[in-house]
Structure 1
Amino acid sequence: MIKQYFALCALCLMACLAFAQEKLSIQVIDERANPIVGVTVSIGNITQTTNTRGMTTFPKVTGASQTVKASYLGYETASQVIPAGQSTLNLILKPAMHQTGEVFVQSTRARENGPTTFSNISKEELRKTNLGQDIPFLLDQTPGVVVSSDAGAGIGYTSMRIRGSDNERINVTLNGIPLNDAESMGSFFVNLPDFASSVESIQVQRGIGTSTNGAGAFGASVNIQTDVLETQPYAELNNSYGSFNSWKNTVKVGSGLLKNKYAFNARLSRIATDGYVERASANMQSFYLDGGVYTQKHTLKATLFSGKQTTYQAWYGTPEPLLTGNREELPAYADAMEIFDETERQRLFNADRRYNFYTYDGQTDNYQQTHAHLQYSFTPNDKVSIQSALHYTRGAGYFEEFRADDRLSRYNLPNVIHGTDTISRTDLVRQRWLDNHFYGVTYAANYKVSNDLRFTVGGAYNEYIGDHFGEVIWARYASTGNLGDRYYFNDAKKTDFNIYGKADYRKDDWLLNADLQYRIINYRAEGPDQRAVYLDFRDNLHFFNPKFGTTYFINESANVYGSYAYASKEPVRKDYAENPLNEFPRPERMHNVELGYRLRESNFNLGVNAYAMLYKDQLIATGALNDVGGSIRQNVPDSYRAGVEFDGAWIISPQFEWRATAALSTNKIRNFVEYIAIYDADWNMAGQQVNTYDKTDIALSPSTVLSSDFTYRPMEPLALSLTSKYVSRMYLDNTSSLDRSIDPSFVNNLRALYTLSAWGLERVDLNLAVNNVLNTKFATNGYTWGSIDPSGTHNFYNFYFPQATINFLLGLNIRF
């Protein structure tokens, strides 16, 4: 029923092309009367880009005058009041006397109308939704995105999957500088709380995308651009409060342009919550500072930002019987979870969907990450620009946990002799540390031969040094241990070099694109890990990643595009350390084909694309997790993801606007082999049962993801929105078993934004979000594990990360 409803909505949205409205036509030109292509033009909450004639059209303004704004890289922002009823407007953009900062991302972003499948999220769009939730939740309405939160409400540890690909396959850059952790490949926005408050725009490229720096993009890349130059001084106070005692407090100031050359910005933020899940609290602080020298040809910008978080662990998840109500299964789950204390068993038996396995007060993740960037741009003329950056990231922290009746030998400690008793087990508290450094250089040079031909050469060299070690900080029976002793120590080093070249050539109605990248990775680790297993590996990899594409312009409003890309990606640390097949992991390789159609009209935007991602040796999640919540993966020789995506927006009238997305896909493994451990009467592993599947679904990859955002503006200062999200069934492992799956979910949110200018203030926003307004009980992430017991029964245990029921966030933002 839900699928039919959204399919009907999509058809209605496409049918809207048949309706005509009175239009306001705007042309943007330079001082020589040449049209400027790709200019961002906005009226109120509606944003468009100009076509090849510098034109764009909006619904005709009625009833009152409004202000139109136009901005483009290298030009000063222009604004002009449009009288009610006016139907045409010419805007002249003057060359900017200063570079503003967009130049730092132009080498790694997809060009407007290029043969790449992407979505752009502007600062204005982020402003409407940024009430303290992590960046993945702010991207929830982009095509094919599925988000989840360990704590349930979008604050703390969050994750996202795009086209079924998780954080480890999503490349994230900040102004072209890699954010992904060099070893795990994940991007942990919990370490950058409230970073969205310092973001100018985000581009999400689906598939392999264009060549970028850092980890290979095997599902998507997220290109984040931080705030650009503001020539006028400003100050902002942004505060929100919501369910689960959630708070966000932000102070942000900027100097504007001083002495026509210098500018500084600063932000200080605090985010805290008790969490939806029991004890899943988060307490996070961050700061952001930048200062720059801006001239017409040169920009030198230094940026320092840091985040510190203390997050109570909730990565164990909730046992399935607490969600389904089949409480007769809870004793078996308690045994499997090794809960033998009667008090804890009763706590489990009486719990609800908010259950948290952990109870120790100090069961927290504590981490601080500080980034320093120094970026330089030189633009000697309108044909050449050169950018370079130095970066350094310092990360250090630990997670602490209580261990009941653990073996002393696991911590290299001898047994304790107490009278005539020999004590080999003890209660203890341990900390497991990460202490790392990440630094490097990025560079790019852009040459515009003519309006029809452009070249880019860029790349990066990055180096990572990381130590992994553990300490026992308390034990009931301390044996010979001393505070500060390390029971394991493993160090790792990874270097990553890449160089790429890009060319764009426009010939009549065709735009041709070529993009070639060469990448070298050297990765080694040595020393015992947390399992007391000596981890010693070295992997040297060389990758050549070519990409080709073309766009055909049907007319000034519509085009079709096609592209082919090939990419390779190295395994992550856990693939070497915890391979379920006891094999040395192989790098993943993928062919990516994209075909799409775009239409940009005055009141209607449409994008439809089809894709195929064909993998060799894809590292697939088995469905099980390691002891820090990471998914255990194995290589599978042959797998694929293929589908169709839709992204549309219809401005029905100045009062009504509708946006919708759809992602329909099939995600399969061919000839998958499953291994299930078999235990004998003494619970020793006696072998494995092998099951084969000709074709099966990839774990945690939904076949249908749909979203809708309907906005109504009863008056100019007020916007009311209903957003909806449907995610189809997802399987916890790779067997397509309904018994090990996540039910489909359909979730609706209400938003209200009231904006005014009064009392000498530039802007006041009153923002209300009521999330999950229908109180749906759902989950979007989980895991499973099991074995065959001595009786020959296959037992499996499913765990989920339940998302919050109805909750709210209320924000008040003031800009001076």
Structure 2
Amino acid sequence: MKTLLFACAASLTTFGALAQQKPVIDTTEVNKLDEVLVQSIRVDADSPITYSNLSKQEIEERNLGQDLPILLNYLPSVVTTSDAGAGIGYTGFRVRGTGNQGINVTINGIPYNDAESLGSFFVNLQDFSSSIQSVQLQRGVGTSTNGAGAFGASLNILTDAADDKAYAEVNASAGSFNTSRANVKFGTGLISDHFSFSGRLSAIKSDGYVDRASSDLKSYFLQGSYRDENTLLKAIVFGGHEITYQSWNGIDAETLATNRRFNPIGFQYDDEGNFEGFYNNQVDNYKQDHIQLLWNQKYDGGWSTNLALNYTLGRGFYEEYVDSWYYENVNFSNDATFEALGWEPYEVDGELQTDTDLIRRRWLDNRYYVANLTTNYSDENIDFDAGIFGSLYSGDHYGEIVWARYFSQTEEAGYRYYFGTADKNEFTTFAKATWRIDDTWSVFGDVQGRFISYETDGIDNDRADFIIDENYSFFNPKAGVTITLDEFSRIYASYARANREPNRTDFENGNPVPESLNDFELGYRYTTDRARVYANAYYMDYRNQLVLTGAIDDVGAPIRQNSGSSYRLGLEIEAGLEIIPGMLATTPNIALSTNKNRDFFFERDGELQNLGNTNISYSPNVVAANRFDYFPVEGLRLSLLSKYVGEQYLGNIDAESSKLDAYFVNDFNAQYELGALGFAKSVTLTLLVNNFLSEEYVSNGYFFTYDDDFTNPGTVTTIEGTGYYPQAKINFLVGASVRF
């Protein structure tokens, strides 16, 4: 019958399970109704796909309010970063060097990636880790999924399953940088053998490691379900409101050496250029709400169907103080001029007024509709999945002037200086099957077609026409084989094709073309009750890969460009071992890779040059992690977590100034389960000390170049610049969870 090995593999990868010799979950018993909601896009040990799982228990062990990407940090090939430096607010992760826009994220099978930017903003999933049942991270192209194509990985999230017993739970944590997290959770248990309701309310606050990089996050999660032997109906509503002080500009090398917590955003100057302080409301203010309706139905003969409907509403703005002296004398931008606002100059006290200090808000107001239908068939020999997916996205982009020192003679507060619309529609269909030929051989096939239309109208924030009318048709085949050598060992090989459309920022910065990828994977899995070793080699061959140039735009969004031909070649090894049964376990992993642009062209000093093969940006050749778990007494777990990330380039031209140093960071995690205590069914205490050796490290940055033809007239000199996002030195979080 159909197996969902994400539950089985979670038992194998759960560190405590190794140490306590918990039995492997029987894969014939894990096909629960909640889990089949995502069975069409998840994979198991019979699949020739490279993946890792995180169970609810593993997530809870370190969940003290930090964002989900930080909790993924110790998975193979994963590199995480935080703009504020402490893991709360704007955070992100890369897999095999592929960043936000190349990682497909789904929640209960519904795409979470923003339809236009293709990125996933985990700042809008405030405390969402407290409502997750399990996570599967597929590396490489993976299996067919919904939404934007996976170009380096896909992250599939399954939200909380209903609990059969009523409960109430309170979680609270606090720590460095005035960080605090509080949530309350509840569940009614099973009512009349069919109905259940549960929910969560959360609030998180943090000042951030970086100056003024504060976060004020509020969120909710509510669900109601009906289930019987063959039917599951779920209605889920979740969302939140985030207000984060902007910290996306980073700092230069000199500031990094002298004041690594400095935040340069929000400068205010007087007319003579004297510094007056920082604007206190230079924030990102955004609300996002999701409604999901999920229906799973099982039929006789091994058939089942899943129907999912989704509506997402997002609205919010970036608020910025634009100082006319700073933009004219330091930033060298025209953002504060009347011309940039579409205003006519006029005389003030006998002087022609052509610019002004102002406060602007750049708004995004969007709606996202999804319908997804899949059918599944399973017997002893075949697992078959097929589905259709459709989505409609509409978004309004506009800017408002909420205050100005000098308004035009015809405008006032609330003036919209730009307005544009965007509509993106997608239709996807797929079919895939795993055929277990015998006890040794299993073959896998998967075909997908994606059909996309993207249209924009109006003007952008530079008041330039921004009109796009593009249609894309992609065919993505996949195939593989798994060979079972014995009860402990499997080998697999697979090929997958992926195509991906450009995003909005790509169009704003040029004339991009779609990127394509051929992904070849070869792997080995060895598993026993007390040990496991997974190893896989991969070769990812790209055409027109949209690589990060290293530069960012004025709202921190990464700028990409098509690189022609490029590739990633790597080896990943992960293991789990009981060193002392029931007491000490270790789970190391390492990823070794080479990541190259072929014959990369770059215009330097006014001349187009072929730089040959260069390193792809943000792609370290070595990423390694390890975790030791020690169980000295019943209920107490002590963990040492270590992460090494090798040096990497922030650009694609191998400039020494763009090189980010390697770093090695160690965390300490302790959790003590007190069990029943008076009025409480259970009490759990958790301590997390991040970077306890106080390593001064930088996990992310940016790199830019520009041509200077002013300093030496008649010549063009390419100028390089680098920015850095420093991460926090030693910091801690301590928390308590009380369940009633």
- TM-score in same-fold range (> 0.5): yes
Counterpart of 2:462 in structure 1 is 531
- How far did 1:389 drift? 0.7
Matching residue within 789, 795, 799 for 2:723 = 799
Counterpart of 2:638 in structure 1 is 720
Q: Does 1:174 align with 2:107?
A: yes
- How far did 1:756 drift? 2.0
- How far did 1:763 drift? 2.2
How many Å separate the matches in 1 of 2:730 and 2:523? 37
Counterpart of 2:738 in structure 1 is 814
How many Å separate the matches in 2 of 1:458 and 1:563? 22
Q: Does 1:222 align with 2:222?
A: no
How many Å separate the matches in 2 of 1:492 and 1:788? 33
- How far did 1:603 drift? 0.9
Counterpart of 2:330 in structure 1 is none
SS in 1 for 2:466: strand
Counterpart of 1:768 in structure 2 is 687
- How far did 1:495 drift? 0.4
SS in 1 for 2:183: strand
TM-score by length of 2: 0.93
Counterpart of 1:471 in structure 2 is 400
Unaligned runs of 5+ in 1: 1-33, 51-56, 62-66, 76-95, 348-357, 679-687
Alignment of 1:731-750 (within 5 A): 731-750=649-668
Q: Does 1:453 align with 2:386?
A: no
- Alpha-carbon distance change, 743 to 311 in structure 1, aligned in 2, over 3 angstroms: same
1:465-498 per-residue CA deviation (whole Å, 9 max, x = no partner) reads: 0000000000001122223221100100000110
TM-score by length of 1: 0.84
> Quick check: which has more Rg, 1 or 2?
1
State whether residues 13 and 576 of structure 2, in contact with CA within 8 Å, keep that contact through their aligned partners in structure 1: no
SS in 2 for 1:322: helix
Q: Does 1:443 align with 2:370?
A: no
State whether residues 238 and 814 of structure 1, in contact with CA within 8 Å, keep that contact through their aligned partners in structure 2: yes
State whether residues 629 and 638 of structure 2, in contact with CA within 8 Å, keep that contact through their aligned partners in structure 1: yes
Counterpart of 2:627 in structure 1 is 709
How many Å separate the matches in 1 of 2:543 and 2:7? 40
- How far did 1:40 drift? 5.0
Counterpart of 1:9 in structure 2 is none
How many Å separate the matches in 2 of 1:621 and 1:304? 35
- Alpha-carbon distance change, 37 to 800 in structure 1, aligned in 2, over 3 angstroms: closer
Q: What is the letter of the counterpart of residue 690 of structure 1?
A: L
Matching residue within 283, 308, 322 for 1:389 = 308
Unaligned runs of 5+ in 2: 325-335
Counterpart of 1:372 in structure 2 is 291
1:754-791 per-residue CA deviation (whole Å, 9 max, x = no partner) reads: 11212253321110011001110001110122334323
How many Å separate the matches in 1 of 2:146 and 2:2? 33
Q: What is the letter of the counterpart of residue 150 of structure 2?
A: A
Counterpart of 1:561 in structure 2 is 492
SS in 2 for 1:422: strand
1:163-215 per-residue CA deviation (whole Å, 9 max, x = no partner) reads: 00001000000010000000000010101100010000000000000000001
How many Å separate the matches in 1 of 2:18 and 2:235? 39
State whether residues 7 and 55 of structure 2, in contact with CA within 8 Å, keep that contact through their aligned partners in structure 1: no
- Alpha-carbon distance change, 292 to 800 in structure 1, aligned in 2, over 3 angstroms: same
Q: Does 1:755 align with 2:683?
A: no
- How far did 1:35 drift? 13
How many Å separate the matches in 2 of 1:69 and 1:766? 27
How many Å separate the matches in 2 of 1:723 and 1:216? 32
- Alpha-carbon distance change, 717 to 779 in structure 1, aligned in 2, over 3 angstroms: same
State whether residues 40 and 71 of structure 1, in contact with CA within 8 Å, keep that contact through their aligned partners in structure 2: no
Counterpart of 2:594 in structure 1 is 666
State whether residues 387 and 444 of structure 1, in contact with CA within 8 Å, keep that contact through their aligned partners in structure 2: yes
Q: Count matched residues.
A: 717
How many Å separate the matches in 2 of 1:215 and 1:345? 47
- How far did 1:459 drift? 2.6
How many Å separate the matches in 2 of 1:283 and 1:123? 25
State whether residues 110 and 370 of structure 2, in contact with CA within 8 Å, keep that contact through their aligned partners in structure 1: no
Alignment of 1:287-436 (within 5 A): 287-324=220-257, 359-381=278-300, 383-405=302-324, 406-436=336-366
State whether residues 39 and 72 of structure 1, in contact with CA within 8 Å, keep that contact through their aligned partners in structure 2: no
Q: What is the letter of the counterpart of residue 303 of structure 1?
A: I
Q: What is the letter of the counterpart of residue 703 of structure 2?
A: T
Q: What is the letter of the counterpart of residue 44 of structure 2?
A: R
Q: Does 1:778 align with 2:697?
A: yes
How many Å separate the matches in 2 of 1:373 and 1:73? 28
Q: Relative CO higher for 1 or 2, CA cutoff 8 Å, sep ≥ 6? A: 2
- How far did 1:381 drift? 2.8
Alignment of 1:585-604 (within 5 A): 585-604=512-531
- How far did 1:113 drift? 3.0
Counterpart of 1:651 in structure 2 is 578
State whether residues 636 and 673 of structure 2, in contact with CA within 8 Å, keep that contact through their aligned partners in structure 1: yes
SS in 1 for 2:300: coil
Counterpart of 1:350 in structure 2 is none
Matching residue within 695, 698, 703 for 2:613 = 695
Q: What is the letter of the counterpart of residue 797 of structure 1?
A: G
- Alpha-carbon distance change, 119 to 735 in structure 1, aligned in 2, over 3 angstroms: same
Q: What is the letter of the counterpart of residue 601 of structure 2?
A: V
How many Å separate the matches in 2 of 1:37 and 1:279? 45
How many Å separate the matches in 1 of 2:34 and 2:631? 33
How many Å separate the matches in 2 of 1:381 and 1:243? 55
Counterpart of 2:73 in structure 1 is 140
Q: What is the letter of the counterpart of residue 730 of structure 1?
A: Q
- Alpha-carbon distance change, 400 to 69 in structure 1, aligned in 2, over 3 angstroms: same
Counterpart of 1:730 in structure 2 is 648
SS in 1 for 2:278: coil
- How far did 1:380 drift? 1.7
Counterpart of 1:543 in structure 2 is 474
State whether residues 309 and 368 of structure 1, in contact with CA within 8 Å, keep that contact through their aligned partners in structure 2: yes
How many Å separate the matches in 2 of 1:301 and 1:181? 24
Deviates more, 1:438-447 or 1:337-346: 337-346
- How far did 1:527 drift? 1.0
- How far did 1:59 drift? 7.8
Alignment of 1:160-239 (within 5 A): 160-239=93-172
Q: What is the letter of the counterpart of residue 532 of structure 2?
A: N
- How far did 1:413 drift? 1.8
Q: What is the letter of the counterpart of residue 387 of structure 2?
A: G
Q: What is the letter of the counterpart of residue 297 of structure 1?
A: N
Alignment of 1:92-111 (within 5 A): 100-111=33-44
Counterpart of 2:501 in structure 1 is 570
SS in 2 for 1:103: helix
Q: What is the letter of the counterpart of residue 362 of structure 1?
A: N
Counterpart of 2:544 in structure 1 is 617
How many Å separate the matches in 2 of 1:216 and 1:41? 27
How many Å separate the matches in 1 of 2:364 and 2:284? 11
How many Å separate the matches in 2 of 1:629 and 1:39? 35
Counterpart of 2:567 in structure 1 is 640
SS in 2 for 1:200: strand
SS in 1 for 2:339: helix
How many Å separate the matches in 2 of 1:266 and 1:35? 30
State whether residues 4 and 44 of structure 2, in contact with CA within 8 Å, keep that contact through their aligned partners in structure 1: no
Counterpart of 2:535 in structure 1 is 608
State whether residues 73 and 103 of structure 1, in contact with CA within 8 Å, keep that contact through their aligned partners in structure 2: no
CA RMSD of aligned residues (A): 2.6
- Alpha-carbon distance change, 200 to 343 in structure 1, aligned in 2, over 3 angstroms: farther
- How far did 1:60 drift? 8.9
- How far did 1:48 drift? 3.5
Q: What is the letter of the counterpart of residue 644 of structure 1?
A: L
